[in-house]
Chains A and B, each alone.
Chain A
Amino acid sequence: MQEEQSLTHRARQGDKEAFAQLYENYFDKIYRYVVLKIGKADAEDVTQQVFIKALQAIASFKWQGIPFSAWLFRIAHNQVVDYLRKEKKVIKVPLNESSSRSDSDPQQMAERSLDIEQLISATRQLTRAQREVIGLRFAGELSVAETARVMSKSEGAIKALQHSAIVALRKTMSRTGNNEQG
Chain B
Amino acid sequence: MNRDKELANILNDCLERLLQGETIEQCLQDYPQYAGEIEPLLQTAVAAKKALAIQPGAEFKARARYQLQSVLKEAKPSRGLPLLSWQPRWAPALAIGLAFLLAGSGTVAAAGNSMPDSPLYPVKLATEQAQLGLTFSDIGKAKVYVELADKRVAEITYMVNQGKPEEIEATVQRLNNHLAMIVSLSLVEGAAPGEPPAEEAAPRLMQTPAAGVAEAPAPQLAETPAAEPAPEEAAKETPEQAEAKAKLKELLKQNKNIHPAVLRALLDEVPDSAKPALRQAIADAEENYQKALEALDDEDGEDEQGKKRHGEEGD
Interface residues of A (CB under 8 A from B): 14, 16, 19-20, 23, 27-28, 31-32, 35-36, 43-45, 47-48, 51-52, 55, 110-116, 118-119, 134, 137-139, 144, 156, 159-160, 162-163, 166-167, 169-170, 173
Chain A residue contacts of B43, Cβ below 8 A = 110-111
A138, B44: Cβ atoms closer than 8 Å:
no
What 7 A-B pairs have minimum CB-CB distances, sorted nearest first?
Answer: A163-B8, A111-B43, A170-B44, A119-B51, A159-B8, A114-B51, A114-B47
In the assembled complex, how far is the CB of residue A12 from the closest CB belonging to chain B, in whole angstroms?
Answer: 13
A48, B67: Cβ atoms closer than 8 Å:
yes
B68, A52: Cβ atoms closer than 8 Å:
yes
- A16 and B56 alpha carbons, distance in the complex (Å): 23
CB of B283 closer than 8 Å to a CB of A: no
Instruction: From the candidates A51, A55, A110, A159, name the one contacting B44 in the complex (CB within 8 A).
Output: A110
CB of B79 closer than 8 Å to a CB of A: no
Give 15 pairs: A residue, B residue, CB < 8 Å, sorted on A: A23-B65, A31-B56, A44-B57, A45-B161, A48-B67, A48-B68, A48-B161, A111-B40, A111-B44, A113-B47, A116-B51, A116-B54, A119-B48, A163-B8, A166-B41
B45, A138: Cβ atoms closer than 8 Å:
yes
B56, A173: Cβ atoms closer than 8 Å:
no
Main SS at interface, chain B: helix
B41, A32: Cβ atoms closer than 8 Å:
no
B47, A111: Cβ atoms closer than 8 Å:
yes
B44, A173: Cβ atoms closer than 8 Å:
yes
In the assembled complex, how far is the CB of residue B117 from the closest CB belonging to chain A, in whole angstroms?
Answer: 16
Q: Mark B36-55, 1 if CB is under 8 A from A, else 0.
A: 00001101111111111011
In the assembled complex, how far is the CB of residue A67 from the closest CB belonging to chain B, in whole angstroms?
Answer: 17
Known: A27-B61, A44-B60. A32 touches B54 (CB 8 A): yes
A159, B12: Cβ atoms closer than 8 Å:
yes
B48, A28: Cβ atoms closer than 8 Å:
no
Interface residues of B (CB under 8 A from A): 4-5, 7-9, 11-12, 15, 40-41, 43-52, 54-57, 60-61, 64-65, 67-69, 71-72, 75-76, 161
Chain B residue contacts of A35, Cβ below 8 A = 54
Chain A residue contacts of B161, Cβ below 8 A = 45, 48
In the complex, the chain A residue whose C-beta lies closest to that of B162 is: A45
In the assembled complex, how far is the CB of residue A27 from the closest CB belonging to chain B, in whole angstroms?
Answer: 7
In the assembled complex, how far is the CB of residue A111 from the closest CB belonging to chain B, in whole angstroms?
Answer: 4
In the assembled complex, how far is the CB of residue A105 from the closest CB belonging to chain B, in whole angstroms?
Answer: 13
In the complex, the chain B residue whose C-beta lies closest to that of A55 is: B71
Chain A residue contacts of B8, Cβ below 8 A = 156, 159-160, 162-163
- A116 and B51 alpha carbons, distance in the complex (Å): 5
Chain B residue contacts of A47, Cβ below 8 A = 56, 64
Chain A residue contacts of B4, Cβ below 8 A = 160, 163
B7, A163: Cβ atoms closer than 8 Å:
yes
B54, A138: Cβ atoms closer than 8 Å:
no
In the assembled complex, how far is the CB of residue A47 from the closest CB belonging to chain B, in whole angstroms?
Answer: 7
- A43 and B54 alpha carbons, distance in the complex (Å): 12
In the assembled complex, how far is the CB of residue A72 from the closest CB belonging to chain B, in whole angstroms?
Answer: 14
B52, A138: Cβ atoms closer than 8 Å:
yes
- A55 and B73 alpha carbons, distance in the complex (Å): 12
A162, B11: Cβ atoms closer than 8 Å:
yes
A166, B11: Cβ atoms closer than 8 Å:
yes
In the assembled complex, how far is the CB of residue B278 from the closest CB belonging to chain A, in whole angstroms?
Answer: 19
Instruction: From the candidates A16, A113, A159, A173, name the one contacting B72 in the complex (CB within 8 A).
Output: A16
A170, B67: Cβ atoms closer than 8 Å:
no
